A and B are shown apart, each in its own frame.
Chain A
Amino acid sequence: MTTPVTQVRNKLADIEIGRYLPLYNQLTEEQRYAYKLLLPGLVMMFIIHFIPIMWGALISVMGVDSAYTSNWYEAPFVWFENYQYVLDPRTVIGSRFWYSIRQTIIFAVGTLVLTYVLGLTAALVLNQRFKGRFAARTLLLLPWVAPAVVTLLVWRMMLQQQSGIINSILLSTGIINEPIYWLIGDNAIWSLILVHSWTQFPLVMIMLYAGLQSIPEQLYEAASIDGAGRWQRFRYITFPQLKPVSAVVILLMMLWTMINFTSAFVLLGSQPPQAGQVSILYIYEFAFSNFQFGRGAAMSVVLFAIAMTMAMLYYKYLFDEDFTEESR
């Protein structure tokens, strides 16, 4: 006797999916199997990512503020008024938002450069055979593995102007004559880049290290026979071979940094100095302290559009050709 559950299951199995999804009939059995495996992931992504993104885009054209917090669907459609408000550089809010975008780009590019240089250097070192390589790899991963809030708070203490160890070392070694303000004033953005890079470079390192491991040894042997030196081997074999991994790493680091909240919030506080006012902090503060959800969503959409545009340009002008060639 079949149970109700089995009946439901059998009914589901009998549904002719091709009737509802015409493209389904054009797929091979293997492709269908692949899509079935992808389905749970896609459903989760739809629920967790796409619905909030669409909701954010929707309320960015609605007047959702404190009066419509619980009944946002009743808020009036203001269309592009929110965008006009936050993008107008003549107003204080608009100029602050544009300034925060500028700081975000500095933050993203600075972090990208630093994490890539540090990550590549560390990966190249780890790729050598030496005693204690496993221990070194573990140690280098620590900044990424350790809880972010704890490490950021330690950095905050280290960067204090008078009691911080960074100034203390710089003063005692004679590099500086007066203690520097790292967390306030214009230096805040550089401190943020430094600290965030420190927490993120192990990820870059491990990805590049994986890329290095996949480069065939024969290429180096052939180059050595042709008389290539260490620098030439790096320039003509290692670096080009790492290009696909680097493309992914650079894209991910850029996007993740642009939307990173934790580092800026913990290191610089909820009211950061102007130089440390990156967009994500500004949007959070603006939207949640003031219940300006519609305008905050408009800012988020703008940030999203800028990040996506940068990613597209990056691919189009730097990597499109390589990937097109590869796929031929």
Chain B
Amino acid sequence: MWYQLVSLLSHVLYPFPSRFSDISHKPNQFVIKENSYISCIITPNRGLAMRRHTRRKVLATTGAATAFSISGCLGGDNGSDGTTIETRYMDAPGLDEFFDEHTQRFEEETGIHVEYEFVGWGEAQDTLISDIMSRSGPDVHEIASTWIPEQYNADGWMDLESDAVAEHLPSTDTFEQGAIDVATFQDTLVGIPWFWGPRAYQQVDERIEAGGVSGTPSDWDELVDQADAYDGDDQYFAIMGSDYEPIRNFAMFLWQNGGQLLTDDYSEPAFHGQEGVEALEFYADLYAEYGVLSSETLEWGAADIQGAFTGGQMASTWGALGTVSAYEEDGNSIDDLSVSAPPAGPGGDRGTFFGMELLGIHPWTDEPAAAAQWIEYLLRAEPNAAVSSTVGFLPTNPEGLETEYFDNDLYRTFDEDVFPHARTYPQVIGWGEIESELNSMVFEVLQSAVTDDLEAGDVEDALHQAASVAEQTLE
């Protein structure tokens, strides 16, 4: 029907004889016959001369481009008679091959055709907001765990225990309770845990030993002592400083020091207590007083830190499995690495942060059962392990850990030694605002630390300021 629309538009907009009615339509194709003249709205006596041949070409091309654009934007089905679902994931190297292979396998098994596309992390949240506002977009979407409260509140996700989908999805008993806790918001299962991973202390043994130090630090004092003693060619330790990393690092120091971000019932902030002040002071001192962290790392994001670690500029870091994968992809052997839980704070806690990605179904889907079947397929041991290994996380299906992808002691250390210490952000509406404010405050403190502008009481003031925003938000 689009060729008719184009033809109609061309007649209405340009009141002159035309042969655009000669546009013919074949499946997925438009043919425009230009065997007669088209007089132009811009006539020569108006001062703009255009050769007839060129005019015809311009108009014909414009018409064809418009028709293709419209049909491309609005066209949906792939021509097959079976069910088609649309899906979207965060972009990562290697995912294209993964989905190419597994959508084919899934279609062979079920007859359901799965279309997939990727979105970068930078624009993912904006894209999702647009989808939720317009009630349109893919059927299945990857969810970052920290987005759940707001997006669920905005009616962006289907209840996965509803009758339309529950029977097709994997049982929640398949997963660790911690994963299900994150996936559940206000007693509703919002997503199915897909892959997850904690941050661990990672070091290249050879570099550490060459610097006169051995073993991984077990507590804060040892971290500082090792940094003091370290005499290698490269830097001893680095953690990320820019974007959303300062708050993650602060949260880890806070947990290690026995503190917590919010009270147990999530009604009030708790990060500005004594534990929080000490944790942030220690974080700042790693730059200013102890010199454990190089000041340039304050300008570094995730890619910079990974590049520095895999490229031999840093001997140790905090990172998830993605850092291990990147190290291996740089031509190194993962046998060079040692991994442990981060050093414990004065209270003896080795708290670390874990991130988790889930799969959710949008409530506007016309194919909830097919969408659920696709999620069930992706959560089987082999595909779950394959995708987790590709993006540098651990599979949420425990059977995935038994596959060849994770047949290495290093991965087991992540799972068995580091994961028990891992925590994540509170699932509460308004956390985005609190996270943003707290991140700004932590970043300000660290900047003041490296520029020698940090004065007594600044840390406490910064945390109290962030706490007042948090109180207002949680109200």
Contact = CB atoms under 8 A, between A and B. Distances in A.
A291 B154 CA distance: 9
Contacts of A163: 296
A68 B132 CA distance: 10
A92 B447 CA distance: 20
Contacts of A70: 132-135, 154-156
Given A5-B11, A184-B447, A271 B296 contact: no
B433 A184 contact: no
Interface string B122-154: 100110010011110000000000000111011
Contacts of B468: 92
B132 A92 contact: no
B242 interface: yes
B70 interface: no
B244 interface: yes
B301 interface: yes
Contacts of A72: 133
B465 interface: yes
B440 interface: yes
Nearest to B364: A70
A6 interface: yes
Contacts of B244: 270-271
A70 to B, nearest CB: 5
Nearest to A292: B433
Interface string B71-108: 00000000000000000000000000000000000000
B434 to A, nearest CB: 9
A8 interface: yes
B433 A290 contact: yes
Interface string A256-273: 000000000000011101
B398 interface: no
A9 B20 CA distance: 15
Interface string A273-313: 11000000000011011111000000000000000000000
Nearest to B363: A70
Contacts of B298: 184
Given A93-B469, A270-B244, A288 B125 contact: yes
A92 B465 contact: yes
B1 interface: no
Residue from B243, B432, B439 with most neighbouring chain A CB atoms (10 Å): B432
Interface residues on B, range: 35 or more
Contact of B432 (A5, A8, A9, A290): A290
A209 B291 CA distance: 53
B255 interface: no
Contacts of B7: 5
Contact of A66 (B153, B294, B451): B153
Residue from B126, B134, B430 with most neighbouring chain A CB atoms (10 Å): B430
Residue from A3, A91, A290 with most neighbouring chain B CB atoms (10 Å): A290
B20 to A, nearest CB: 10
B459 to A, nearest CB: 16
Contacts of A291: 129, 150, 153-154, 432
B361 interface: no
Contacts of B8: 5, 8
B11 A69 contact: no
B-side binding surface: helix, strand, loop or mixed?
A: helix
A12 B12 contact: yes
A183 interface: yes
A72 B135 CA distance: 12
B205 interface: no
Contacts of B435: 289
A91 B472 CA distance: 10
Contacts of B125: 288-289
B443 interface: yes
Nearest to B296: A162
Interface in B226-264: 242-244, 246
A67 B301 CA distance: 32
B154 A69 contact: yes
B382 interface: no
A166 B20 CA distance: 59
Nearest to A290: B433
A185 B451 contact: yes
Nearest to B41: A37
Interface string B450-467: 110100000000000100
A289 B436 contact: yes
A160 interface: yes
Contacts of B154: 66-70, 291
Contacts of A274: 440, 444
Contacts of B299: 160-161, 181, 183-184
Contacts of A91: 472
A35 to B, nearest CB: 15
B349 interface: no
A21 interface: no
A12 B21 CA distance: 19
A288 B440 CA distance: 16
A66 B11 contact: no
B286 interface: no
B271 to A, nearest CB: 15
A13 interface: yes
A185 B449 CA distance: 10
Given A9-B12, A67-B154, A161-B299, A290 B430 contact: yes
B338 interface: no
Contacts of B439: 271
A68 B133 CA distance: 9
A52 B443 CA distance: 34
B437 interface: yes
B15 interface: yes
Residue from B122, B125, B294, B299 with most neighbouring chain A CB atoms (10 Å): B299
A271 B447 CA distance: 13
A271 B248 CA distance: 13
A130 B246 CA distance: 54
Interface in B110-129: 122, 125-126, 129
A152 to B, nearest CB: 14
A48 B154 CA distance: 26
Interface in B407-453: 429-430, 432-433, 435-437, 439-440, 443-444, 447, 450-451, 453
B184 interface: no
B153 A67 contact: yes
17 contacts: A5-B8, A5-B11, A9-B11, A66-B149, A69-B155, A92-B437, A161-B299, A181-B299, A181-B451, A184-B447, A269-B242, A270-B244, A286-B433, A289-B432, A289-B433, A289-B435, A291-B154
Please list the 6 inter-chain residue pairs (A to B) with the smallest Cβ-Cβ separation, ordered nearest first: A69-B154, A162-B296, A290-B433, A66-B150, A66-B153, A5-B11
Given A70-B155, A161-B295, A291-B153, 5 more contacts: A5-B7, A8-B12, A66-B429, A70-B134, A181-B299
